[in-house]
Every structure is written in structure tokens, then in C-alpha cells.
């Protein structure tokens, strides 16, 4: 069965671009990198969806096998890059804890640990420290029926790449909303001070 030209999930990519600027105050250069990750994620999501729609005989072709191999490789590189972005955000928040709430800081740490569980066996061929007793030293490629490309990190633990990307995307959205509220509050406070200075004293 013939495939259409490669495409991306445009609404998903637009969301990545929108939420990327929430980290501007933490690390100004990170937004562009996140947008790049978002474009790759949007393409992988689109391609996983297209693969699920193929009939069994279409999935088993040599050409489709090559495309799947490429997607696994790109997915692995995506995880490594997304982990570094999450680690950078975590580091910046630790240095300037007043920028975000404690709850958001904990959510960032939780997201970093979720990525680390896959990133360690993918990049260093050893389990993440927190899961050393249960996880494999190598993350085994697998396919989730609904979420596509995944890795089996322990006997009963399958981690879809889509699960990680959704988690990071939601985190960035929460950071952006917090920063928008914070900026609005600071603007209103500044306007109040300016108004107070203009009122003549009697």
C-alpha cells in the first residue's frame, strides 16, 4: 500500500511553539530548542498514527520496516534531547526557586525522572538509579497498540514515547500559564504604583 508524503501533526506542533516561551525567563535560548523538539514530536505522532492505519500486509513490507527503524532511531534521539531540556529547566529552577511554585518545581523533577528511566538504558545501557533493582540495562524497542513507539524498561513496564512527550508538553503548558499570571500580576502592581505616584498629596 502506498504512503502519502511525510507530514506532521500541525495542531500539536503549534501547541509546542505556543508553550515554549514559558521558559524564556529561566533560559532564553531554550525556547527555540523546545520548538525543534516539538516539530520532531509532531512528525513522530503523525507517522505513528499513519502506521496504525496500515493493514497487516502493509506493515510487513521492506520499505515500511525501514521507516519503522528510522522512527525508532529518531524517537531515541528525541528522548535524549527532551531529557536535556527538562534537566536544564530543573537546574534553572533550583538556582532561582522564586520564579516558579514549589508544586511546579516538584512536577519538573517528576518529569525529569520519568525521562531518566528511559534515557539511562538508551544512552548509557544501564538502568536509572531509582530503578536499578527492577529495570533492564537496555531499553527494549516495542510498539504500543495506541501510542506507537515504546520501550520495555522492566518486565511489566512499557513506556511509550508519546507518554513522555505528552507529559513534557503538559508541563510546559503549566509553566507558561504560571508565567503569564505572574507577568500579569507584576504589571498590575506596577500600574498601581505608578498611579499612586501621580495622585497629589493633600
pLDDT tens digits for range 153-191: 999 999 999 999 999 999 999 999 998 887 776 555 555
Residue where the block lists cell 513506556: 159
pLDDT at position 175 is: 95
pLDDT at position 73 is: 96
Q: 131 by DSSP, 3-state: which?
A: helix
pLDDT at position 103 is: 96
Average pLDDT score over the chain: 89
* Stated pTM of the model: 0.86
Assess contact for 117 and 82: CB atoms under 8 A.
no
Q: 129 by DSSP, 3-state: which?
A: helix
Alpha helices in the chain (DSSP H): 10-20, 30-52, 56-59, 62-95, 102-123, 161-198
- Per-residue DSSP letter, 22: G
Cell of 117: 528511566
Size (the chain), residues: 202
Instruction: Specify the DSSP element, H or E, that contains 148.
Output: strand 148-154
Provide the residue ranges of all domains of the chain, joining segments of one domain with +.
10-198
Beta strand 148-154 pairing with 140-144: antiparallel
Cα 202 to Cα 150, 191, 194, 199: the distances in Å are 71, 22, 18, 9
Q: 130 by DSSP, 3-state: which?
A: helix
Amino acid at each position: 500500500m502506498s504512503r502519502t508524503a511525510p507530514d506532521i501533526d500541525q495542531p500539536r506542533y503549534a501547541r509546542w511553539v505556543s508553550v515554549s516561551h514559558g521558559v524564556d525567563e529561566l533560559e532564553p535560548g531554550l525556547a527555540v530548542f523546545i520548538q525543534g523538539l516539538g516539530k520532531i514530536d509532531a512528525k513522530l505522532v503523525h507517522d505513528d498514527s499513519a502506521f496504525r492505519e496500515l493493514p497487516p500486509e502493509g506493515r510487513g513490507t521492506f520499505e515500511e520496516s525501514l521507516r519503522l527503524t528510522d522512527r525508532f532511531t529518531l524517537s531515541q534521539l528525541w528522548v535524549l534531547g527532551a531529557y536535556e531540556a527538562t534537566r536544564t529547566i530543573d537546574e534553572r529552577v533550583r538556582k532561582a526557586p522564586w520564579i516558579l511554585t514549589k508544586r511546579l518545581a516538584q512536577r519538573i523533577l517528576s518529569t525529569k525522572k520519568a525521562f531518566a528511566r528511559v534515557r539511562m538504558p538508551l544512552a548509557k545501557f544501564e538502568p536509572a538509579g531509582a530503578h536499578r533493582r527492577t529495570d533492564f540495562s537496555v531499553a527494549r524497542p516495542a510498539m504500543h497498540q495506541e501510542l506507537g513507539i515504546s520501550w520495555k524498561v522492566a518486565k511489566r513496564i512499557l513506556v511509550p514515547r508519546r507518554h513522555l512527550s505528552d507529559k513534557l508538553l503538559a508541563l510546559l503548558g503549566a509553566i507558561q500559564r504560571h508565567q503569564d499570571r505572574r507577568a500579569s500580576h507584576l504589571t498590575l502592581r506596577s500600574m498601581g504604583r505608578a498611579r499612586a505616584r501621580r495622585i497629589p498629596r493633600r
